[in-house]
Amino acid sequence: MDRKVAIFGLPFLLASILYETTLAETECFRVDWTKENSRRWFPIGTIFYDGDSLEFVFNQTNYNVVVVDKLAFETCKAPEGAFEYNSGDDTVPLKKGENYFICTKRGCCENNMKMMIDAAAGQRPTKMEETEQVRSGQDNQVKSWVKLIGICYMVLFF
């Protein structure tokens, strides 16, 4: 029951938790939601992940953003009660899999104001992992060891 040693172990746990949260990166993509921009919302090859979000920026006189399903996406007919964003600067979270958005103001969906995003499962690789692929395995090991040391201290001495 040595509290001093237990308190000594605490920073290890906190460090590993902190380390883990910095690994969970998400990205917010700005969408210039205009008719002129349709069909090329994002650069080719953009990869979206579960937990990323889109910031739709638009003129609310002409446009809105409605969250729909595949059928509504194809037919441009939003079901009753579909959620509508209409502030003109709306941040919308992406969920895993296919995300469908259409504009339902007069004629805009038919003018290709619609978007489908297929968000990948899991987390976006960190910049560190992207640039130092080889190191990422070691980082996970370090993370595990730091956590293990922290837990050992807590269990043994608290």
Ligand X SMILES: *[C@@H]1O[C@H](CO)[C@@H](O)[C@H](O)[C@H]1NC(C)=O
CA 153 to chain centre: 35
Name the residue nearer to ligand X (CB basis): 34 or 123: 34
Q: How far is the CB of 88 from ligand X (least distance, A)?
A: 8
Q: How far is the CB of 23 from ligand X (least distance, A)?
A: 40
Q: Can you give the binding site for ligand X, defined by CB under 6 A?
A: 59, 61-62
Name the residue nearer to ligand X (CB basis): 12 or 56: 56
Name the residue nearer to ligand X (CB basis): 22 or 59: 59
Q: Which two structure tokens, joined as six digits, stand for 157?
A: 């001495």
Q: Which residue is nearest to ligand X (CB)?
A: 59
Q: How far is the CB of 59 from ligand X (least distance, A)?
A: 4
Q: Which two structure tokens, joined as six digits, stand for 136?
A: 């990422």
CA distance 70 to 51: 20
Name the residue nearer to ligand X (CB basis): 68 or 109: 109
CA distance 37 to 147: 48
CA distance 72 to 100: 9
Name the residue nearer to ligand X (CB basis): 21 or 59: 59
Q: How far is the CB of 94 from ligand X (least distance, A)?
A: 27
CA 127 to chain centre: 15
DSSP 49: B
Q: How far is the CB of 66 from ligand X (least distance, A)?
A: 19
Decide if 83 contacts 121 (C-beta within 8 A). no
Helix (H) or strand (E) holding 157: helix 133-157
